[in-house]
Structure 1
Amino acid sequence: MEVTAGSDAVQDLLPLVFAAPNEALTQAEAVLRRRPTPLHASVAHQVIGIWQRDFGDTRLALRHLRRARDWAARAGSADREADVLATLGVALVHSGRTRQGLDALGRGVRRGTGHTRARVLFRRAYAWWVLGHHKEALEDVRRAVPVLRHAGDVIWTARALTLRATVHLALGAVERAEADFASAEDLWAVTDQEHDKADAVESRGLAAFRSGDVPAALRLLDEAEERYAKLGTPTFMLSIRRCEVLMAAGLAAEALAEADTAIAELDSIGGQSTRKAELLLAAARAARQADDPATATARAELAVRLFAGQRRTWWEAQARLVLIGARHAAGKGSGKLVADAAAVAGTLAGLGAPAAPEAFLLAGRIALDLGRPADAEPYLAVAARSRHNGPPLARMTGWAAQALRARAAGSTRGVLEACRRGLDVLDDHRMTLGASELRARATAQGAELAALAQQAALRSGGPRRLLVWSERWRATALSAPPTRPPADPELLSHMTAYREIAARAEEARMEGRPVPALEREQRRLERAIRSRTLHMRGEAHGDDARFDAGRLLERLGDGVRLVELAVVDGRVQVLLCGQGRVRRFGAGLLAAAEAEAEHVQAGLRRLAHPGAQARLPVVEAAGRRLEELLLGPAAAHLGEGPVVIVPPGRLHRVPWALLPSLRERVVSVSPSASSWLRARETRPPRGGRKVLVRGPGLATGGAEVTRLAARYSGATVLEHGEASVPRVLAELDGAGLAHIAAHGTFRTDGPMFSSLRMADGPLIVHDFERLGRSPYRIILSCCDTARFATVGADELLGLVTALLPLGTAGVVACSAPVNDAAVVPLMLALHEGLAAGLPLPEALRDARAALPPDPLHRATGWAFTAFGAA
Structure 2
Amino acid sequence: MLELLPMVFAAPGEAVTRARGLLEAGAPPLHASVAHQVIGIWQRDFGDLRLALRHLRRARDLAARADSAEREADVLATLGVALVHAGRTRQGLVAFERGVARGSGHTRARVLYRRAYVWWVLGRHREALEDVRRAIPVLRQAEDVIWTARALTLRATVHLALGAVERADADFTAAEALWDTTGQEHDKADAVESRGLAAFRRGDIPAALRLLAEAEERYAKLDTPTFMLNIRRCEVLMAAGLAPEALAEADAAIAELDGLGGQSTRKAELLLVAARAARLAGEAHTAIARADVAVRLFAGQRRTWWETHARLVLIEARVAAGRRSGRLVADAAAVAGRLAAFGSPAAPEASLLAGRIALALGWTADAERHLAVAARSRHSGPPLARMTGWAAQALRSRAAGSGRGVLEACRRGLDVLDDHRTTLGASELRARATAQGAELAALAQEAGLASGEPRRLLVWSERWRATVLSAPPTKPPADPALLSGLTAFREIAARAEEARQEGHPVPALEREQRRLEREIRARTLRLRGRSPGGGDRFEPGRLLARLGEARLVELAVLDGRVHVLLCGQGRVRRFEAGRLADAVAEAEHVQAGLRRLAHPGAAARLPLVEAAGRRLEELLLGPAARHLGSGPVVVVPPGSLHQVPWALLPSLRERVLSVSPSAGSWLRARETEPPPGGRQVLVRGPGLATGGAEVPQLADRYEAPTVLEGPDAHVSRVLRELDGAALAHIAAHGAFRADSPLFSSLTMADGPIVVHDFERLDRSPYRIILSCCETARFASVGADELLGLVTALLPLGTAGVVACSAPVNDEAVVPLMLALHKGLGAGLSLAEALRDARAALPGDATHQATGWAFSAFGAA
Flag whether TM exceeds 0.5 (same fold): yes
In 2, the alpha carbon distance for the partners of 1:36 and 1:625 equals: 86
In 2, the alpha carbon distance for the partners of 1:15 and 1:513 equals: 52
Deviation at 1:13, TM superposition (A): 1.2
In 2, the alpha carbon distance for the partners of 1:162 and 1:195 equals: 13
In 2, the alpha carbon distance for the partners of 1:826 and 1:514 equals: 37
Q: Name the counterpart of 2:776.
A: 786
**AA aligned opposite 1:701:** G
1:800 aligns with 2:790: yes
**AA aligned opposite 1:801:** T
Is the contact between residue 480 and residue 540 of structure 1 (CA under 8 Å) also seen in structure 2? no
After superposition, the C-alpha distances for 1:307-344 in whole angstroms (9 at most, x for unaligned) are 00001000001000000001011110000000000000
In 2, the alpha carbon distance for the partners of 1:864 and 1:18 equals: 61
Matches within 5 A, 1:255-294: 255-294=246-285
1:170 aligns with 2:167: no
1:128 pairs with one of 115, 119, 128? 119
Is the contact between residue 725 and residue 758 of structure 1 (CA under 8 Å) also seen in structure 2? yes
Is the contact between residue 33 and residue 62 of structure 2 (CA under 8 Å) also seen in structure 1? yes
**AA aligned opposite 1:118:** A
Q: Name the counterpart of 2:849.
A: 859
Q: Name the counterpart of 1:244.
A: 235
Matches within 5 A, 1:184-333: 184-333=175-324
Q: Name the counterpart of 1:524.
A: 515
Is the contact between residue 42 and residue 67 of structure 1 (CA under 8 Å) also seen in structure 2? yes
Q: Name the counterpart of 1:79.
A: 70
Q: Name the counterpart of 1:768.
A: 758
2:342 pairs with one of 351, 354, 368? 351
Q: Name the counterpart of 1:593.
A: 583
After superposition, the C-alpha distances for 1:160-213 in whole angstroms (9 at most, x for unaligned) are 000000000000000000000000000000101000000000000000011111
- The share of aligned pairs that are identical, in percent, is 82
Q: Name the counterpart of 2:805.
A: 815
In 2, the alpha carbon distance for the partners of 1:199 and 1:29 equals: 26
Q: Name the counterpart of 2:404.
A: 413
Deviation at 1:229, TM superposition (A): 0.6
After superposition, the C-alpha distances for 1:507-564 in whole angstroms (9 at most, x for unaligned) are 111111121111111111111111111111002658623110011000001x100000
Q: Name the counterpart of 1:740.
A: 730
Q: Name the counterpart of 1:674.
A: 664
Q: Name the counterpart of 2:59.
A: 68
2:41 pairs with one of 22, 38, 50? 50
- Please give the secondary structure, in 2, of the residue aligned with 1:19: coil
- Please give the secondary structure, in 2, of the residue aligned with 1:862: helix
After superposition, the C-alpha distances for 1:365-406 in whole angstroms (9 at most, x for unaligned) are 000000111111110000000000000000000000000000
Q: Name the counterpart of 2:612.
A: 622
Q: Name the counterpart of 1:487.
A: 478
Q: Name the counterpart of 2:432.
A: 441
Is the contact between residue 479 and residue 543 of structure 1 (CA under 8 Å) also seen in structure 2? no
In 2, the alpha carbon distance for the partners of 1:11 and 1:502 equals: 53
In 2, the alpha carbon distance for the partners of 1:781 and 1:28 equals: 68
- Please give the secondary structure, in 2, of the residue aligned with 1:566: strand
After superposition, the C-alpha distances for 1:646-679 in whole angstroms (9 at most, x for unaligned) are 0001101100000011001111000000000000
In 2, the alpha carbon distance for the partners of 1:53 and 1:572 equals: 58
Q: List alignment gaps of at least 5 residues for structure 1.
A: 1-9
- Please give the secondary structure, in 1, of the residue aligned with 2:528: coil
Q: Name the counterpart of 2:684.
A: 694
In 1, the alpha carbon distance for the partners of 2:382 and 2:342 equals: 19
In 2, the alpha carbon distance for the partners of 1:796 and 1:655 equals: 16
In 2, the alpha carbon distance for the partners of 1:146 and 1:638 equals: 78
In 2, the alpha carbon distance for the partners of 1:543 and 1:46 equals: 58
Q: Name the counterpart of 1:662.
A: 652
**AA aligned opposite 1:253:** P
In 2, the alpha carbon distance for the partners of 1:242 and 1:738 equals: 41
In 1, the alpha carbon distance for the partners of 2:811 and 2:588 equals: 24
After superposition, the C-alpha distances for 1:260-304 in whole angstroms (9 at most, x for unaligned) are 110111011111000000000001111111111111111100100
In 2, the alpha carbon distance for the partners of 1:704 and 1:75 equals: 90
Is the contact between residue 420 and residue 532 of structure 2 (CA under 8 Å) also seen in structure 1? no
1:544 pairs with one of 535, 544, 565? 535
Is the contact between residue 412 and residue 456 of structure 1 (CA under 8 Å) also seen in structure 2? yes
Is the contact between residue 470 and residue 536 of structure 2 (CA under 8 Å) also seen in structure 1? no
Is the contact between residue 476 and residue 524 of structure 2 (CA under 8 Å) also seen in structure 1? no
In 1, the alpha carbon distance for the partners of 2:62 and 2:694 equals: 84
- Please give the secondary structure, in 1, of the residue aligned with 2:801: strand
1:602 aligns with 2:610: no
- Please give the secondary structure, in 1, of the residue aligned with 2:855: strand
Runs of 4+ in 1 over 6 A off after TM superposition: none
1:382 pairs with one of 350, 373, 383? 373
Is the contact between residue 637 and residue 661 of structure 2 (CA under 8 Å) also seen in structure 1? yes
In 2, the alpha carbon distance for the partners of 1:298 and 1:485 equals: 41
After superposition, the C-alpha distances for 1:86-145 in whole angstroms (9 at most, x for unaligned) are 010000100111111111111111111111100000000000000000000000000000
**AA aligned opposite 2:596:** R
Is the contact between residue 479 and residue 542 of structure 1 (CA under 8 Å) also seen in structure 2? no
Is the contact between residue 480 and residue 542 of structure 1 (CA under 8 Å) also seen in structure 2? no
Q: Name the counterpart of 1:824.
A: 814
**AA aligned opposite 1:724:** H
Q: Name the counterpart of 1:149.
A: 140
Q: Name the counterpart of 2:445.
A: 454
Calculate the aligned-residue CA RMSD, in Å.
Answer: 0.8
Is the contact between residue 119 and residue 144 of structure 1 (CA under 8 Å) also seen in structure 2? yes
Q: Name the counterpart of 2:709.
A: 719
Is the contact between residue 419 and residue 533 of structure 2 (CA under 8 Å) also seen in structure 1? no
- Please give the secondary structure, in 1, of the residue aligned with 2:478: coil
Normalised TM-score (structure 2): 0.99
In 2, the alpha carbon distance for the partners of 1:40 and 1:610 equals: 84
1:640 aligns with 2:630: yes
In 2, the alpha carbon distance for the partners of 1:508 and 1:34 equals: 57
In 1, the alpha carbon distance for the partners of 2:757 and 2:18 equals: 49
Deviation at 1:485, TM superposition (A): 3.8
Is the contact between residue 156 and residue 171 of structure 2 (CA under 8 Å) also seen in structure 1? yes
In 2, the alpha carbon distance for the partners of 1:382 and 1:628 equals: 46
Point out the more displaced range, 13-22 or 352-361.
13-22
Point out the more displaced range, 731-740 or 44-53.
44-53
- Please give the secondary structure, in 1, of the residue aligned with 2:505: coil
CA distance 1:443–1:50, shift in 2 (3 Å): same
The count of corresponding residues between Structure 1 and Structure 2 is 860
- Please give the secondary structure, in 2, of the residue aligned with 1:583: strand
In 1, the alpha carbon distance for the partners of 2:93 and 2:590 equals: 65
Is the contact between residue 291 and residue 310 of structure 2 (CA under 8 Å) also seen in structure 1? yes
In 2, the alpha carbon distance for the partners of 1:638 and 1:27 equals: 83
**AA aligned opposite 2:217:** E
In 2, the alpha carbon distance for the partners of 1:486 and 1:19 equals: 34
Is the contact between residue 773 and residue 807 of structure 1 (CA under 8 Å) also seen in structure 2? yes
Deviation at 1:356, TM superposition (A): 0.1
Deviation at 1:713, TM superposition (A): 3.1
**AA aligned opposite 1:523:** R
Matches within 5 A, 1:833-844: 833-844=823-834
- Please give the secondary structure, in 2, of the residue aligned with 1:445: helix
Q: Name the counterpart of 2:84.
A: 93
**AA aligned opposite 2:190:** D
